[in-house]
Amino acid sequence: MDYVYAPGKNHLFVPGPVNIPEPVLRAMNRNNEDYRSPAIPALTKTLLEDVKKIFKSTTGTPFMIPTTGTGAWESALTNTLSPGDRIVSFLIGQFSLLWIDQQQRLNFNVDVVESEWGQGANLDVLESKLAEDGGHTIKAICIVHNETATGVTNDLSKVRFLLDKYKHPALLLVDGVSSICALDFRMDEWGVDVALTGSQKALSLPTGIGIICASPKALEASKTSTSVKVFFDWKDYLKFYKLGTYWPYTPSIQLLYGLRAALDLLFEEGIDNVIARHSRLGKATRLAVEAWGLKNCTQKEEWYSDTVTAVLVPSYIDSSEIVRRAWKRYNLSLGLGLNKVAGKVFRIGHLGNLNELQLLGCLAGVEMILKDVGYPIKLGSGVAAASAYLQNNIPLIPSRI
């Protein structure tokens, strides 16, 4: 029973947590087990082998920590860096802001590169800093791949290009919470040293697993890190990896079985097909926004996100009322505007186990809500624009050909 009942199904279109597919729900519907029995290490071994594929890494070492993305952030930082180390970190929205706050509270020397919300990371400033840093005082570059507050995606290949151009040894630490398993992500090819994601985003699981992948360079850096860490210490995991038992403390058995099912679904569809599906969903949503006569918070096409669209509303409309009305009248969950863009944008999440017809239902709901709050919209305009694009671009379902 829902805590606050409404007929039918809740239409969940926040940029995480996302819809959980039925096979994953069924896989998690099980009793507890002894995680020291032979079964759980055997399951964990396959998960560690397969989870590397979502990062597109063959050389990385994965860690599945019972935590959120925030815990994964802390694990990435404290295992590779020491207090006082200089970090260049990009502030482009609410989640990059929160990560920077964590970096500062962990006593790193954070060199913040701030951009207007709606813009991507300023890589010209990064280039200047790398060019001036002949002494290699910069120990890490921290960047959010996909900033969900503003719907901005950064080009990680350009960051790697700059590091290589100046032969700079700084570690590249990437928050891929709302990108990995949905957007193109190539850990090995782009020279990412630590990448991380959360189970509640494109993996389409409940919150509770922070998944990290560390390069050999990052593992080497962890040997000299002096940051205080206990729960997030990679050394504890590596010790139990060698023992073949894998867990330094109790994992969520149900989430492990859910992750197994979620990975199986992703691999059945094919990671590249999953990325292409998200590309279609993102494009269709942006076409609908354009047809409504509204603007994307993201200021340039090169930064458009295929997992979330932040929609700017006219000044006479409070975007928070759109989100409230969606939930109260239409059983539709949309994302609020956060911090600097609170009241100015609402967010449509289009990531995870989601198809095109589900998205069209969301867009129809948004149109009615816009009409409710006094925006002069032509009902059906955005749905028509999205439908025309999707009808020409949706492929046949591979398993049904």
Residue where a domain terminates, one of 267, 283, 317? 267
Query: How confident is the model at residue 398, as a pLDDT?
Result: 84
For residue 392, count other CB atoms closer than 10 A to its CB: 7
- On the CB side of 294, how many CA atoms lie within 13 Å of its CA? 31
- Let me know whether 189 and 246 are in one domain: yes
User: Does 3 reside within a domain?
Assistant: no
Q: How far, in Å, CA of 314 to CA of 87, rounded?
A: 38
**For 80, left (φ over 0), alpha (ψ -120 to 50), or beta?**
alpha
Domain interval for residue 252: 22-267
The pLDDT tens digits of the residues spanning 222-234 come to 999 999 999 999 9
Look-up of token digits 């000044």:
315
User: Does 315 reside within a domain?
Assistant: yes
C-beta contacts of 219-225 below 8 A and 24+ residues apart: 219/61, 221/79, 221/80, 221/81, 221/171, 221/193, 222/79, 222/80, 224/82, 225/78, 225/79, 225/80, 225/81, 225/82
Mean pLDDT, residues 43-58 = 98
- Let me know whether 311 and 237 are in one domain: no
Q: How far, in Å, CA of 230 to CA of 295, rounded?
A: 46
Query: How confident is the model at residue 48, as a pLDDT?
Result: 98
- Let me know whether 134 and 214 are in one domain: yes
Which CATH number belongs to the domain containing residue 299 in this structure? 3.90.1150.10
User: Does 355 reside within a domain?
Assistant: yes
Which CATH number belongs to the domain containing residue 63 in this structure? 3.40.640.10
User: Does 212 reside within a domain?
Assistant: yes
- Let me know whether 194 and 335 are in one domain: no
The pLDDT tens digits of the residues spanning 371-392 come to 999 999 999 999 999 999 999 9
Query: Is the bond preceding 17 in cis, omega lying within 30 degrees of 0?
Result: yes
User: Does 223 reside within a domain?
Assistant: yes
Question: 173 has which bridge partners?
Answer: 142, 194
User: Does 178 reside within a domain?
Assistant: yes
Query: How confident is the model at residue 130, as a pLDDT?
Result: 98
Q: How far, in Å, CA of 42 to CA of 44, rounded?
A: 5
- Let me know whether 186 and 211 are in one domain: yes
The dihedral built from the CA positions of residue 55, 200, 92 and 70, taken in this order, carries a sign that is negative
The dihedral built from the CA positions of residue 196, 70, 121 and 313, taken in this order, carries a sign that is positive
- Let me know whether 239 and 122 are in one domain: yes
Which of 299, 298, 347 lies closest to 319, judged by CA? 347
- Let me know whether 259 and 308 are in one domain: no
Which helix (H) or strand (E) segment is 366 a member of? helix 356-372
C-alpha dihedral, 400 to 390 to 379 to 14, nearest 10°: 80
Q: How many domains does the chain have?
A: 2
pTM assigned to the model:
0.97
Per-residue pLDDT band at 2 (split at 50, 70, 90) = low
Q: What is the DSSP letter of 119?
A: B
The pLDDT tens digits of the residues spanning 70-94 come to 999 999 999 999 999 999 999 999 9
Q: Are 90 and 142 in contact (CB under 8 A)?
A: yes
The pLDDT tens digits of the residues spanning 258-309 come to 999 999 999 999 999 999 999 999 999 999 999 999 999 999 999 999 999 9
Per-residue pLDDT band at 211 (split at 50, 70, 90) = very high
- Let me know whether 221 and 292 are in one domain: no
- Let me know whether 165 and 209 are in one domain: yes
What is the DSSP pairing of strand 194-198 with strand 171-175? Answer: parallel
Q: How far, in Å, CA of 155 to CA of 157, rounded?
A: 6
User: Does 139 reside within a domain?
Assistant: yes
Whole-number average pLDDT of the chain: 97
- Let me know whether 130 and 197 are in one domain: yes
Q: Express as a percent the part of the chain with pLDDT over 90.
A: 98
Residue where a domain terminates, one of 218, 236, 267? 267
Q: How far, in Å, CA of 100 to CA of 141, rounded?
A: 11
User: Does 1 reside within a domain?
Assistant: no
- Let me know whether 279 and 236 are in one domain: no
Q: 13 phi and psi, to 5 degrees?
A: -130, 35
The residues, any chain, with a CB within 8 Å of residue 401's CB and separated by 6 or more, are none
Q: Tell me if 347 is assigned to a ligand binding site.
A: yes
Q: Are 172 and 141 in contact (CB under 8 A)?
A: yes
Q: What is the DSSP string of 66-108?
A: SS-HHHHHHHHHHHH--TT-EEEEEE-SHHHHHHHHHHHHTT-
Residue 1, pLDDT > 70, answer no
Query: How confident is the model at residue 399, as a pLDDT?
Result: 85
For residue 74, count other CB atoms closer than 10 A to its CB: 22
Helix, coil or strand: residue 345:
strand
Which of 150, 400, 148, 397 lies closest to 274, judged by CA? 397
The pLDDT tens digits of the residues spanning 145-180 come to 999 999 999 999 999 999 999 999 999 999 999 999
Per-residue pLDDT band at 401 (split at 50, 70, 90) = confident
- Let me know whether 249 and 301 are in one domain: no
Residue where a domain terminates, one of 267, 300, 325? 267
